Amino acid sequence: MLKVLLITYYWPPAGGPGVQRWLKFVKYFKDFGIEPIVYIPENPTYPLTDESLISEVSDEITIIKQPIFEPYRLAELFSKKSSKTISKGIIVKKEKQSLIQKLLLYIRGNFFIPDARKFWVKPSAKFLQKYISEANIDAIITTGPPHSVHLIGKELKKNIDLYWIADFRDPWTTIGYHDKLKLTKGSIEKHKELEKEVLTSVDHLTVTSYTTKEEFLKITNKPISVITNGYDTEKISEVKLDSEFTISHIGSLLSGRNPEKLWQILFDLTQENDEFAKTFRLQLVGAVSEDVLLSINEAGLSDFLDNNGYVSHKKAIEIQRSSQVLLLVEIDTPETKCIIPGKLFEYMVSKRPILAIGPKDADISRLIKETNSGYFFEYSEGSEMKNVILSYFGEFLEGKLKAKTEGIEKYSRRELTRKMVEVLKKVESEK
């Protein structure tokens, strides 16, 4: 049985999408002859927590921890609210930023490269170098963001002859919020330098999207596998469909995820269609930026809004399955066309129709079309979007609204683990 060390920042009780991917891989590894050992920070500052996820971690899994210094704790002395929103990735528009927010962003972007967890790198590499030798580890996996975790792998690779897989849940220098960190020219170059060092010293790269693979192929000749996020079989009792026409977004709505045309379309429908006005609810679950809430209110939708805030993963799944339509929104920039959020696959398995909005040529468009799970629109496609919403609403009134999803089995967490194991099995062939 191969012994594999996973180095990750996010682990239960961390909440949010960052923890799900490797929580599930670890869950299924032993079924495929892999013994996982998980290395995590002892005292992290997670922006979101979900205690319910702790129950998904098997007692048979070896977990080792080392302390981490978290600068966000110091930032909270200046502004607890601003530091927490920044750590969640919620960055308000430039013209609305306070002096404190601008200062925190500048410090975060230029003093903490690649990110604020950089102080975990050296002590972790020192501790793990000894641990790996004593525990007879066959391979290590680093997963980011935070991308400082990959620097632990880079340090270990320099000193130990072992197989290293770097898993990128999101890209590095082209991630959506990078241009909002007020980076100096020197800081931008430092990010690119570190990114290249990781991409060229690793043995194998795994990424979650096709676009990220194309991007990395321009930097490295190392093998790259696309292993998307996926869905797991959830033990949740049957839920009833909402009696109202709920359009629900599950997850963070950052300032850039603000489809103002959609908000206007929904308001227009409440004015043009009395039945729509009686039954429509816009349901938001998760962290929502003030910019998005302001746009929704300015569009006239405040009376139709249910803003639930963050809920447990189990509760989020229940809401997905009871909603009439599931809304997926990605930032409208070329840099974000590579993002395939994990919730897309959970949406698919919920068997509720999807309404997705994002940038041109987005990878999510390809997957939605492939699985026939809904419709994708660019931000500019107003009339087409309105027609689809009316079509969904008509089916809802007839009691016939449901998804026509097909071919999603390959995106189950178990099948995706099989793909990851195929990469790990290369360790045996190269021994």
Please name the residues in contact with 144: beta carbons below 8 A apart, sequence gap of 6 or more: 9, 150, 166, 167, 168, 169, 170, 172
Determine the Cα–Cα distance for residues 351 and 7; give it in Å rounded to an integer.
34
Determine the Cα–Cα distance for residues 149 and 117; give it in Å rounded to an integer.
8
DSSP type of residue 48: S
Question: Is 336 buried (19+), middle (13-18) or exposed (0-12) by CB count in 10 A?
Answer: buried
* Helical segments of 136-284, H only: 148-159, 185-201, 210-217, 260-272, 274-279
The answer to whether 181 touches 107, Cβ cutoff 8 Å, is no
The CATH class of the 245-409 domain is alpha beta
Instruction: Please tell me the predicted confidence (pLDDT) of residue 79.
Output: 43
Instruction: Please tell me the predicted confidence (pLDDT) of residue 324.
Output: 98
pTM of the predicted structure, to 2 decimals = 0.82
Please name the residues in contact with 187: beta carbons below 8 A apart, sequence gap of 6 or more: 109, 110, 113
DSSP type of residue 8: -
Domain 2-230+412-430: which topology? Rossmann fold (3.40.50)
The answer to whether 304 touches 174, Cβ cutoff 8 Å, is no
Please name the residues in contact with 15: beta carbons below 8 A apart, sequence gap of 6 or more: 46, 48, 49, 50, 53, 310, 312, 313
Residues of the chain with pLDDT under 50: 75-80, 82-84, 86-88, 90, 92
DSSP per-residue letters across 252-266: -B-TT---HHHHHHH
Determine the Cα–Cα distance for residues 361 and 164; give it in Å rounded to an integer.
32
Q: How many CB atoms lie within 10 A of CB 395?
A: 14
Instruction: Please tell me the predicted confidence (pLDDT) of residue 82.
Output: 46
Instruction: Please tell me the predicted confidence (pLDDT) of residue 150.
Output: 98
Task: Please tell me whether residue 325 adopts helix, strand or coil conformation.
Answer: strand
DSSP type of residue 47: S
Instruction: Tell me which residue of 93, 379, 401 sits closest to 264, measured CA to CA.
Output: 379
Angle between helical axes of 290-298 and 260-272 (0-180°, round to 10): 30
Task: Output the CA torsion sign for 332, 337, 343, 347.
Answer: positive
Determine the Cα–Cα distance for residues 234 and 315; give it in Å rounded to an integer.
11
Rg of the chain over all Cα atoms, to the nearest angstrom: 22
In single-letter form, the type of residue at position 205 comes to L
Question: φ and ψ at 143, to 5 degrees?
Answer: -130, 135
Taking CA 76 as the corner, what is the angle to CA 70 and CA 79, rounded to the nearest 5 degrees? 150
The answer to whether 250 touches 319, Cβ cutoff 8 Å, is yes
Determine the Cα–Cα distance for residues 357 and 352; give it in Å rounded to an integer.
16
Instruction: Please tell me the predicted confidence (pLDDT) of residue 364.
Output: 95
Q: Where are the domains of the chain?
A: 2-230+412-430, 245-409
Chain mean position to CA 430: 32
Determine the Cα–Cα distance for residues 161 and 214; give it in Å rounded to an integer.
28
Instruction: Please tell me the predicted confidence (pLDDT) of residue 420.
Output: 96
Instruction: Please tell me the predicted confidence (pLDDT) of residue 83.
Output: 44
The answer to whether 120 touches 319, Cβ cutoff 8 Å, is no
Instruction: Tell me which residue of 408, 329, 415, 421 sits closest to 376, measured CA to CA.
Output: 329
SS (H, E, C) 87-101: HCCCCCCHHHCCHHH
Pairing of strands 2-7, 34-41: parallel
